[in-house]
Amino acid sequence: MRILLIEDDQAAAAYLTKGLGEAGHVVDHAADGETGLHLALSGSYDILVVDRMLPKRDGLSLIRMLRADKDTTPALVLSALGEVDDRVEGLRAGGDDYLVKPYAFAELLARLEVLTRRNQQEESPRHLRVADLELDLFSRKVTRAGRTIRLQPRESRLLEYLMRHSGQVVTRTMLLEQVWDLHFDPQTNVIDTQISRLRSKIDKGFDKPLLHTLRGTGYKLDASP
């Protein structure tokens, strides 16, 4: 999942970003309501995690603005305000779920998965498939020809991006920005290393290679010869 986290508490944001990243999800973070609203309106996210008390624009106002703009991206509201009236107000503002602080990370992750399943649409399927290679976007389970393939979180995110762009050339810059969230070239072979590891897992032992390197251009996940 691609998640937008709008949280002004830096420690809480770092904790959630790390945990969600380890679960195989891509997280963008905004530290105030105005920045969060801008990202939500301009980006493409599967789900929003919105703190209620935010600088510049509070979380419920942000969600109301999105709903007024016909944006139906699921939103999970986080708040220390846990009375019935508080929860009702959050849901009536357009929130799809309301989680009271403090919370268990496992519960937050489960709620996100439920909200995303509930919002499934044809353009956002649960499974990605290229030939006999399949990725379950919720469980992060990867199989090829029925055989389970175990990937590390970064490898899983890399594979998801390649599968979402199957048949297309994906450049190193695109991977750095979308998978590593880097907007500069670190001058290392990190991409080559991860591509090599991923190729050994999804192609080794199978008749047809799927992950191709186009020298000087980038990479492509393609079932074609």
pLDDT of residue 188: 85
pLDDT of residue 120: 57
pLDDT of residue 124: 53
pLDDT of residue 24: 84
pLDDT of residue 138: 81
The answer to whether 2-118 and 127-221 have equal CATH topology is no
Low-confidence ranges of the chain (pLDDT < 70): 119-125, 225
pLDDT of residue 116: 81
Question: What CATH number should be reported for the domain whose range is 127-221?
Answer: 1.10.10.10
pLDDT of residue 196: 96
pLDDT of residue 122: 41
Give the span between the Cα atoms of 88 and 153, in whole angstroms.
Answer: 36
Tokens representing residue 185 in the block: 């070239």
Domain residue limits, the chain:
2-118, 127-221
Domain spanning 2-118: CATH 3.40.50.2300: yes
